[in-house]
Amino acid sequence: MIDFLQYLLDGLATGSVYALIAVGYSMVFGVLQLVNFAHSELFMLGAYLVMLLFAQGAPIWAAVLLAGCGVGAFAVLMEKFAYRPLRSSGRLAPLITAVGISIFLQNLVQALFSPNPQAYPFHLPDGILEFGEDILVRQRDILIFILAVVLTLGLEAFVRYTKPGKGIRAVAIHPQAARIVGVPYNRIVSLTFFIGAVMAVVAGALQGAATNQIWPYMGVSSGLKAFAAAVLGGIGVLPGALVGGLALGIVESLLVGYDLSTFKDGAAFLILILVLLVRPQGLLGKKVLVKV
Amino acid sequence: MSDVLSYLSLPLTMLAVFGIQALSLQLILGGAGLLSFGHAAYFAVGGYVAAAVSVFALPALGLDPSTSPLFSLFVAALAGLLASGLTGFLVALPCLRLQGDYLAMATLGFGEIVVTVLKNVDAVGGTRGFKDIPKLTHPLALWLTLAAVVVFLHRLYASPLGFAIRATRDDEIASRSLGISTNRSKVLAFSIGTGLSGLAGAFHAHALQFISPDAASFDRSVEILLAVVLGGMFSLRGSLLGAFLLVALPEVLRFATPAIAEKRVLFFSLAVILLMILNPKGLAGLGDRLFHGLRRRPRNPPGASGSTGVPT
């Protein structure tokens, strides 16, 4: 039982990073019904940019802020030039450009830096807290977890109570109707991409600090799992991304703990399929009726 | 001259294998309108099963693949085809109840599960991959198979089942009201497509003498998707064109100036983005546009419902 609790706590940090990436997949899908496969590369790009800025001597909060704005601007441009022209061309065409951008960014970063993992210059406090007799928790895990919860719930509050947030929800519910009542559709889409990118940058910096290494393909596996987390929790629902991300992080940690680490990568997707078959809308999603 | 031929033999083999695979996804994606993001999984299942047949099963039956390569290849490829088709069938039964995007996610998930399972089966090499598969694939047999697949799919699209598959894609509810069993046409299209993908996997494994769990990875699935959508998912020749482009483009870039050759993946990905933005319906659509533009005005006004053009 003590073991179980320990593994559970170990999974929180990984799960929190998944959750922060999942938020971006979830929001973009909610607004455009597009799986933005390049999103995982924004996460990677964020980790590198924060590293660069931090190495230049910027304090960490400024490095994350600047990198967030930079990657956010890139995401807005990406949507404008690679996705927007294909909006009326069906679901698959923008998906292909997303894949193209993804391959491009991976290889660009690989050419600029190196294909090898690099040590991360920024670290989180790595003291250890003891609970009771045997349960140990790293301070940085708690920090990452709290940050993920605060950011996700803060974003949920933003989407719920502010005017731009209400615009995002309106576009997600009914794009045409939202446009008719005067919601600036394209600006809302850009905002969605920007917010998703900022979250991905935070996730990238946290991942770098927690594992102490980043590499050009770090987005590939984390991205796919974050995407699974978004679907698992209910795509388009922000607290769902948090629940899905944490669930996957904890399951992976449990598998590693019980000596099943070679099955870790498949487990996320097995759970995904099982949940989809029973509850296609995800754990926290609402069922949408298709009208004829 | 023989140098050129020997240099070309690998890309040509890859081209035919990739062509079969693109055609197999075309049936699922363009023909039946089912989003499959894990198509490489069936390729890997077919490859592994076929390799297991020629490495373990045939010698156990007292048949040495090196003495009768064509017969062994035939048996192995058939086993690969059936195994992956059956896998596709078993995936389709529960998953095809899911709509559009959810189906895409479930198929993606299944692909990753196949990777994990293959990595954990030690009998076929685990993470190191399946080595020492006999080299049975003869280029002629491979290209004839590709031709046979083209003819088969052509006939399929002209058959009642083909019409049912396309009708289901265009409007499921209307098809059902006409008495078409939409579930049957979806499951059959998916099973046939996954089976053909496994056939490609069998040839691939016996050409390279090696197959690894990565053959089922999401990257590979995306490559096939890229070929089919880039070339034009609503026609067989579009998908073949896409497969050709995806195999040929990196090879051609290899011979460009060193600056480009070194960074050819960068240029390749830029080319993919540009081609897609300029030809949202795929390169086959571009050909049709030029052709029809010369002869007559298009019959359907642009933007009409179902503006996907006349599917094959």
Q: Are B29 and B234 in contact (CB under 8 A)?
A: no
Q: Using the beta-carbon criterion (under 8 Å), do B273 and A272 form an inter-chain contact?
A: no
- Chain A CB contacts of B113 under 8 Å are 266, 269-270, 273
Please state the domain extents for chain B: 2-217
Coil, strand, or helix at residue B178?
A: coil
Q: Confidence band (pLDDT; 50, 70, 90) for B295?
A: low
State the DSSP code for A115: S
Write the single-letter amino acid at B163.
F
Coil, strand, or helix at residue A129?
A: strand
DSSP-derived pairing of the beta strands A118-119 and A213-214: antiparallel
Q: Using the beta-carbon criterion (under 8 Å), do A269 and B225 form an inter-chain contact?
A: no
- Chain B CB contacts of A104 under 8 Å are 266, 269-270, 273
| Average pLDDT of the segment spanning B56-69 | 84
Cα B237 from Cα B284, distance rounded (Å): 7
CA distances from A121 to A50, A216, B302 (A): 10, 16, 55
Q: Using the beta-carbon criterion (under 8 Å), do B98 and A93 form an inter-chain contact?
A: no
The per-residue pLDDT for B5 is: 67
Q: b or e along B196-215 (b: 16 or more beta carbons within 10 Å of the residue's beta carbon)? A: bbbbbbbbbbbbbebbbbbb
| Run of H or E residues at B108 | helix B100-120
Least confident of B27-31, B66-70, B206-210: B66-70
Token pair listed for B296:
């007559």
CA A118 to chain B, closest CA, distance in angstroms equals: 21
Token pair listed for B48:
């592994």
- Chain A CB contacts of B112 under 8 Å are 224, 265-266, 268-269
Domains located in chain A, CATH noted: 2-278 (1.10.3470)
Q: Confidence band (pLDDT; 50, 70, 90) for B95?
A: confident
Q: Are B15 and B243 in contact (CB under 8 A)?
A: yes
CA B226 to chain A, closest CA, distance in angstroms equals: 6
- Tell me the pLDDT tens digit for each residue of B34-45: 988 899 999 999
Per-residue HEC secondary structure of B2-39 comes to HHHHHHHHHHHHHHHHHHHHHHHHHHHHHHCCCCCCCC
- Tell me the pLDDT tens digit for each residue of A19-50: 999 999 999 988 888 889 899 999 999 999 99
B6 vs B198, which has greater pLDDT? B198
- Chain A CB contacts of B105 under 8 Å are 227-228, 231, 272, 276
Q: Is the confidence at residue A191, as pLDDT, over 50?
A: yes
| CA closest to A108 among chain B residues | B266
Q: Using the beta-carbon criterion (under 8 Å), do B101 and A103 form an inter-chain contact?
A: no
- Tell me the pLDDT tens digit for each residue of B105-147: 889 899 999 999 999 888 888 888 898 888 888 888 999 999 9
| Average pLDDT of the segment spanning B159-176 | 92
| Average pLDDT of the segment spanning A260-288 | 82
Among A84, A276, A283, pick the best mutation site for testing chain B contact (most B Cβ within 10 A). A276
- Tell me the pLDDT tens digit for each residue of B9-27: 788 888 999 999 999 999 9
ipTM of the complex model: 0.83
Instruction: Write the DSSP assignment of A164-175 as a string of letters.
Output: HHHHHHHHHH-H
- Tell me the pLDDT tens digit for each residue of B204-236: 999 999 999 999 988 899 889 989 988 888 889
State the DSSP code for B215: G
Q: What's the whole-model pTM score?
A: 0.85
Cα B239 from Cα B245, distance rounded (Å): 10
- Chain B CB contacts of A95 under 8 Å are 225, 229
Coil, strand, or helix at residue A128?
A: strand
Cα B243 from Cα A215, distance rounded (Å): 30
A44 CB-side CA count, 13 A: 30
Token pair listed for A229:
């987390």
CA A277 to chain B, closest CA, distance in angstroms equals: 7
- Chain A CB contacts of B119 under 8 Å are 262
Q: Which residues pair with A128 in a beta bridge?
A: A138
Among B26, B98, B101, pick the best mutation site for testing chain A contact (most A Cβ within 10 A). B101
